[in-house]
Amino acid sequence: MKAIIVGASSGIGFEVARQLLAEGWQLGVAARREEQLLELKAEAPEQVEVMKIDVTQPDADQLLMALVERLGGMDLYFHVSGIGKQNRTLEPEIELRTVETNAVGFTRMVGAAYRYFAEKKEGHIAAISSIAGTKGLGPAPSYSATKALQATYLEALEQQARQRGLPIYITDIRPGFVDTALLNDNFPYPMLMKPEAVARDIVSSIKKRRHVRVIDGRYRILTFFWGLIPRWLWRRLKL
């Protein structure tokens, strides 16, 4: 089996890559930073192809297809690339960079993977959205908004694939707080999960072709009750 992981240089993407390598997958790994990608290749030189890709750049989808060609095909596209930061003062640079990466970059890359699989007539797209897309979060407006966009986009692709008779599977992974470099703003996040444990759940969810997977059980309960909170009450909550 052959998989492309975009955003494999650290955290969840890096751990999922290592687990897939251990299971014998051929991988194409991509990110803005190459150092840890080369570390993955050093662990399994015959199984890994490396490409430097910045999803915010207009040629990122073309580079993705070049990586697919170098790998000799693609059965799974796993999109991990993303940024997020609390922005209570709504600094424009933070908001716009988040949209450029999590909305525009995400759409560019997932759309390219979908078109490839549509032509191939089969494939699997998995992507990291977030529980943050469940409701609009005041401390991180653009982050929660772009994560909601991702979840809706994946749902739309799943419906389109079904209507077109295309066997393209979609897996929307929604983790809670994971102890990675993304959460490096010195905020005391509750219920932190280890990347290794989250990666195991993701690999299992991909194998089972789950449609939506909230990780873990605590966050499944939390998001269920979040969804029940009416708007008038939600806007009064202190987060």
DSSP string, 90-150: --HHHHHHHHIIIIIIHHHHHHHHHHHHHHHT-EEEEEE--GGGSS--TTSHHHHHHHHHH
User: For residues 147 and 143, what is the distance between their CA atoms, to the nearest angstrom?
Assistant: 6
Task: Give the pLDDT mean for 91-101.
Answer: 97
- Under the banding of pLDDT at 50, 70 and 90, the label for residue 80 is very high
Q: Is the pLDDT of residue 233 over 80?
A: yes
pLDDT tier, 185 (very low <50, low <70, confident <90, very high otherwise): low
- Chain segment 19-71, per-residue pLDDT in tens: 999 999 999 999 999 888 999 999 999 999 999 999 999 999 999 999 999 99
Take residue 51 and report the two structure tokens written for it: 């490409």
143 flagged as catalytic: yes
Partners of 173 in beta bridges: 128, 213
Tell me if 11 sits within 8 A of 194, measured CB to CB: no
- Cis before residue 185, ω within 30 degrees of 0? no
pTM: 0.93
Distances (CA, A) of 135 to 140, 175, 236: 11, 14, 13
- Selection from 38-47, 65-74, 180-189, 211-220 with the highest mean pLDDT: 65-74
pLDDT tens-place string over residues 139-181: 999 999 999 999 999 999 999 999 999 999 999 999 987 766 5
pLDDT of residue 68: 98
Task: Note whether 3 and 77 are within 8 A (CB).
Answer: yes
pLDDT at 63: 98
Query: Given pLDDT bands bounded at 50, 70 and 90, which one contains residue 11?
Result: confident
Q: Which domains does the chain have, with CATH numbers?
A: 2-234 (3.40.50.720)
Question: Catalytic residue among 143, 153, 169, 219, which?
Answer: 143
